[in-house]
Structure 1
Amino acid sequence: MHQSHSDFGKPSFMPVHQQQDSPKVLKLGAADVLPLRQAVLWPNHPIAFSKVTGDQDALHFGIKKDQALVCVASLFWHDDSLRLRKFATHPDHQGQGYGSAMLIHLVALARNLQAQTFWFDARQSALGFYEHHGFQATGDIFYKQDIAYLRMSRRLDVR
């Protein structure tokens, strides 16, 4: 079973082995990830549009290049599963391994936290990226602000 929300962000749960050549994933606060979330995911909306319920209790992560955030993501508990939300890589840095490094790190962390499932709503345009990382689409296409999404998940309690 997962750790309590009060234990969720304690450093004792944070260490995840990262390969030396992969970008370093940093633990951040909700306010730290909002500007990149907004700029990448919803650039035509105010920054408040990128906030989600539960941000104050979630774990937030980022990867920096030359002191600037280039990739951000947030994890939220849902029963015994972890949900990835607001995963964004700056367009100038896409295709350079930052998103893959982040996703690999977060899946390893979810396993360490004993989550049973890792899931998220993915933009249809990114399905290939997630399938490459072992995620499977479930259900039908749905829309948020005229953008097509599919729910994707991966069981963590089986290897």
Structure 2
Amino acid sequence: MDYEVICVETSDLLREAFAVRLEVFVKEQGVPEEEELDVYDAEAVHFIAKERGSNKVIGTARLIQKSPEIGKIGRVAVLPDHRGRGVGTQIMQVIESFAHERNLRYLELDAQLQAIPFYERLGYTASGDIFLDAGIQHRKMTKTLHRAEKETSTT
């Protein structure tokens, strides 16, 4: 692995995460910038994938806690030159571990239709009708995070 995934803790890294999103969603996919950056960014926990050595940010995603048990993953983006190398998978795994540590039980996301097979390989299940978000077809996907059973003692 020539990259690492970390939780964003500085405004500089957050700006770099936004730059990846603008490159992927606004420039590549034509999403209006005012729709891409939204009010949820302030409350979300952001994650980035950085190249080792150069520290260049090559991927990002965010997690919003919707309730004590439900988190919503969004804005998953990897720069074109780094796709197909496991970067997105690693970002998702780090988010899932983070969510599990915070006792979230369910994760949901809105997947672009072309990305559904990627999320299915990670254990997410599509449900509901196709809907448009920023003019792009999506479906809702969910995953249950398994909790370790607590040991009980018998006396």
TM-score by length of 1: 0.80
**Mapping 1:1-159, distance limit 5 Å:** 21=1, 23-28=3-8, 29=11, 30-43=14-27, 44=30, 47-65=33-51, 66-79=54-67, 80-157=69-146
Over alpha carbons, which structure has the higher Rg?
Answer: 2
Is the partner of 1:32 in helix, strand or coil?
helix
**Which whole-Å CA distance do the structure 2 matches of 1:69 and 1:47 have between them?**
19
- CA–CA distance in structure 1, aligned partners of residues 94 and 70 of structure 2: 16
CA shift, 1:149, in A, is 0.2
| Gap runs ≥5 in structure 2 | 149-155
Count of matched residue positions in the alignment of Structure 1 and Structure 2: 139
Normalising by structure 2, report the TM-score: 0.81
Q: How far does the alpha carbon of each residue in 1:86-127 deviate from its partner, in whole angstroms, 9 at most, with x for none?
A: 110001110011001111111111111100101110000011
Unaligned ranges ≥5, structure 1: 1-20
- Partners of 2:2 and 2:23 in 1: how far apart? 24
Matching residue's letter, 1:89: V
Confirm or deny: 8 A CA contact 2:47 2:61 kept in the other structure: yes
Q: What is the identity percentage for the equivalent residue pairs of Structure 1 and Structure 2?
A: 24
- The offset of 1:49, in angstroms, is 3.3
Q: Shift of the alpha carbon at 1:48?
A: 3.9
Amino acid at match of 1:23: Y
Tell whether the 8 Å contact from 1:73 to 1:87 is kept in structure 2 after alignment. Answer: yes
